[in-house]
Every structure is written in structure tokens, then in C-alpha cells.
Homo-oligomer: A and B are copies of this chain.
Amino acid sequence: MSVVEGDPFSFLGSAAVNPAEIVRPTSVEEVQAAVRAAAASGTPLWTVSRGKNLGYGGAAPRVPGSTLLDLSGMDRILEVDDESGYCVVEPGVTFLALDEHLRATGSRLMPSVPDIGWGSVIGNALERGFGYTPHGDHSAYMCGLEVVLADGTLLRTGMGAFPDSSAWALYKGGYGPSLDGLFVQSNLGIVTKMGVWLMPRPETISVCQIGAPSDDDLAPLIDTLRPLLLDGTIQSNVVIGNAPVIASMVSPRAAWWTGAGPMPAAAVDRITAALGIGRWNARCAFYGPPALVAARLDVLRGAVSAFDLKVTTYPGDVDPADVHPADRAQLGIPSTDLIRMAEWRGGTPAHTDFSLVCPPTGRDAVRQKELIERKVEAHGFDYAGGFTLNPRHAIALALVSFDRDDPAEAAAVAALFPELIADAAAAGYAPYRAHVAYMDLIADRYDAYDSAHRHTVERIKDALDPAGVLSPGKQGVWPAGHRSTRGAVPR
């Protein structure tokens, strides 16, 4: 039996890192028992909430012989509070399930969802995933964690340290140091409950699509939108995609180009003409009472007059069936449609993602676009990607879809990513997230001040998990006993 879908390392030409065993607890007590057993036996536990982090390795553990601790069976929605706008969930709760629950119970709250809704609400927040509503920065909207430590200790963070606090999911701070951040992209504990802030479903949502006709419009587009994000006129992030990435959401590559090598400009022109989109396409949304949404829209209209603006307005309680598929993310409606993006090149669909942090400026975006495009095309892939623009940072995203069963493509992907990381580092940028196979490679770049950050996390790791059994190698953090194997990709 395998919960690892396919073999996330096969593109590296290596053996699969499938877990030796799978444990599926249904309660906190069973999680505590599992960590105690792991510490006693010395067998590493690799924890996944639902294991759907596919572009980054899915449920594959870093260390061969690990036991997979699969939390998908802990799938209760424990509380929904319409009055103060939060829910408390277990790790197995998916975005699809949360949305269904809120609708079925008549809640006035709406979730923020990532591109694909089958993943875990907790897992996504802990990996610093994001959605496209005003609550799109998912790790910023968590409030209150319950965590099982490596020795079985049960810990509640923030106000949860006060017995039966009514403010556990309401006030992040608590008393004394905040521990929440320790459990993000982490192997320091296992999160078994999380408070998640949800926004009230607004009266109106207007989704805006801004098309820019030329490749050269990237910088002006970003520099036009950033001030509106910074002053709060735009309430969500702005997701910016080039024509190929938009095409991959609705069609296979073969519909536009069947030749070898990267898609030529003429094929991209066919995409923009046929789909009625720009070379760059930005999406954001406004939320609130109609008069406030209209006032925001007026500001946007004045700012983007050089571009093509399309606005679609929905009542906040619109039936999901009446929403255009492209607008769902801004409305917090989960779906699995975008799985098809991995089918872009045909064959056995696989994809891996590259996510680079950068300042939210046009000049940084252009530098990142050029370095990613150059490298991706050099390996024969299309540059299908873009940016998620936030008030103070952008994430440059490249989605590399490939045929896992094509040895040449798999080899090209395996060669591409280390080069991308090196090129980005040379230009002063770093990814915030990593495929399991590249966790050390990226961690090695975060080496300022003699790698003080990593060494500090390692000191905490050794203090909290002396046996070193919780997800060794996660994000490049290894327990004392494994540090000599650091950096070796499993083969």
C-alpha cells in the first residue's frame, strides 16, 4: 500500500523514497503514542496532513525507511464561530471539506483556498501556502496551535497555554515568547489542531482581470499595482500569469504548439488571440458593501487605464455553479480543476514548482522573469509562470510540467532545479519553499552569519527532539544523529 502517489524522486533517476510503514492516527492520543514509539525504536516519522503538496514532493519522506504519519484520518472541524470569524480544525480537514461544512451549516464565513482544494487547511498554512482572498497569506491567518512534541508532550500555543481560554483562536500573542512560528515548515512538533481566521462573506465581490499586451508591460504593471496593495485599496494579493501559464489552465500545450523546444513567440501570440488575454494577466478582487467596492474599483480604473480591465461582480453568496472557473480562487471556492496544469506536455503528468521571494518591484520582477525564463528554456521547457504580488513582497512562480515517463524530460527537470537555485542565489533571490529532494540545497543558501539561523534551529531541534525522530531533513533541518548525511539526495 502506498500513499505516495507515483514516485516523486523518479525524475532524479533515483529509487523511490516510499515509507516503510504508514500510521494513520485518528486521535491526539494516537499521535502521542506514535511519537513515543518512534523515539523508543529510533524509526523516523515523516508527518503529512494529507500529503497533497504534490509539486513539492507530495507525501514522500526525506529519509528511506521512515514511517509515514498520515494525519488524514483526523478530519474534524471542531468549531466554527461566525461572531468572531474563525474555525478550529484538525490536520485532515481539506479546503473542499471546510467549504462544504460552512455552506451546509449556513455559516456566514468564507475560506481562503489555494489553487487546488484537496489539500489540508493546516498543512497548507504550515508550508506557507497561499490563496487569493484578503486572507490569502494562510500562515498569517492561523491563530492558536495544538502540537505534539517528540516526547509526547501536548502543547497549546498562544492563549491556549491558559486553561480553557476563550481567546485561543482569537489573540495570537499569549504571554511570553510565541512558539507558533517554530512549527511552520518544521520538524519540531506535530500540529494536531489549528485556529484559522475566516472572513465574513461580503455583500459583493468584484473580480478584476487586467491584461497587458506586451512582455515589456511586466514592470509597469507591477509598479502600477503595488501602491494600491500597499495602501489597502486592493485587499487580496494580485496573481500575475503569463500567457502560457493561463493557457495551461484550460488546454494542453499541443493545442498551441507541437514542436520541440520552448514554445515560440508565434504560438504565444495564438494563445493571446484565441483566449483574449494579455502577455501578462493580473487578477485581484474587491470585497465589501457595494458602495465601498465601487469606490475601490474607481481607484483601480484610474490607475490601470493603460491596460485592459475586465470586472465581474458577484453577490457574496453566489451559487458556486454560477461562478466562472477562473474567478473561483478569488471567491474562496475550492476546486481541483487546476490539476490539469500538470498535463500541459502530455504523457504521465508531473509537475514541480519553483517559488522565489523578491521585493515587489517591477525591476525585481523583470530580473526574476529573465533568469527563470532563460534557464527553463535552456532545458527545453516553456516559461509558464508569473508572480503573486503582495503589498511588500512578490513570489515568482515557475510551474514546470513534464512527462514523468519520458527519461529525457525527467533528466532535464533534475538538472534544471539546482541550476535555477544557483542562478537565483547569484542574483540575490532565494526560494521560500522546496521540493523534498531540494530541501538541503536551498537550506545551504540560507547560510548568513555562519549559518546561524540553521544552527539555532538545530539547537532547538536537539532540545525538543533529542532522539531525532520527527521528519529528519525537513527543510534541511537535521537532528544531531543525522547531520553527517545532510545534503545527500536519497538514492
A residues adjacent to B (C-beta < 8 A)? 83-86, 128, 134, 139-140, 143, 149, 153-157, 159-167, 170-186, 188, 197, 199-200, 202, 226-227, 230-233, 235, 287-289, 291-292, 294-296, 298-299, 357-361, 364, 391-393, 425, 428-434, 442-443, 445-449, 452-457, 459-460, 462-464, 475-477
Contacts and interface: CB of A to CB of B under 8 A. Distances in A.
Count of this chain's copies in the oligomeric assembly: 2
B392 A84 contact: yes
B153 A391 contact: no
Given A84-B360, A288-B232, A360-B84, A457 B167 contact: no
Contacts of A448: 156, 160-165
B452 A156 contact: yes
B428 A164 contact: yes
Nearest to A462: B463
Given A154-B449, A176-B443, A176-B477, 10 more contacts: A159-B430, A161-B447, A166-B364, A174-B446, A176-B186, A200-B227, A232-B235, A289-B295, A292-B292, A292-B296
Contact of A359 (B167, B180, B188): B167
Contact of A176 (B164, B185, B392): B185
Contacts of A464: 456, 459-460
Given A428-B166, A452-B161, A476-B176, A392 B171 contact: yes
Contacts of A128: 173
Contacts of A445: 162
Given A171-B392, A231-B200, A432-B174, A456 B84 contact: no
Given A159-B357, A364-B166, A452-B161, A175 B442 contact: yes
Given A232-B235, A292-B299, A460-B460, A453 B156 contact: yes
B295 A292 contact: yes
B462 A175 contact: no
Given A171-B357, A232-B134, A453 B179 contact: yes
A452 B154 CA distance: 7
Contacts of A155: 449, 452-453, 456
A475 B433 CA distance: 34
A162 B295 contact: no
Contacts of A361: 83-84
Contacts of A425: 162
Given A162-B430, A166-B358, A175 B456 contact: no
B181 A185 contact: no
A169 to B, nearest CB: 8
A28 to B, nearest CB: 11
Contacts of A226: 83-84
Contacts of A163: 447-448
A477 to B, nearest CB: 6
Of residues A186, A233, A298, A393, which shows the largest number of chain B Cβ atoms within 10 Å of its Cβ? A393
B85 A392 contact: yes
Contacts of A156: 448-449, 452-453
A183 to B, nearest CB: 7
Given A84-B360, A156-B448, A462-B463, A177 B171 contact: no
A186 B175 contact: no
A292 B226 CA distance: 18
A176 B454 contact: yes
Nearest to A474: B176
A394 B456 CA distance: 34
B179 A182 contact: yes
Contact of A182 (B160, B181, B231, B235): B181
A474 to B, nearest CB: 8
Contacts of A172: 140
Contacts of A449: 153-156
A139 B175 contact: no
A381 to B, nearest CB: 24
Contacts of A186: 176-177
Contacts of A154: 449, 452
A165 B181 CA distance: 20
Q: 3 smallest A-B Cβ distances: which pairs?
A: A178-B181, A161-B453, A463-B463
A464 to B, nearest CB: 6
A196 to B, nearest CB: 11
Contacts of A157: 453
Given A84-B360, A299-B289, A463-B459, A452 B153 contact: yes
Contacts of A455: 153
22 contacts: A84-B360, A84-B361, A134-B232, A140-B172, A154-B452, A155-B456, A160-B453, A162-B448, A166-B364, A170-B357, A175-B185, A175-B434, A175-B446, A175-B475, A177-B186, A177-B475, A178-B184, A179-B457, A180-B181, A292-B295, A459-B463, A460-B464
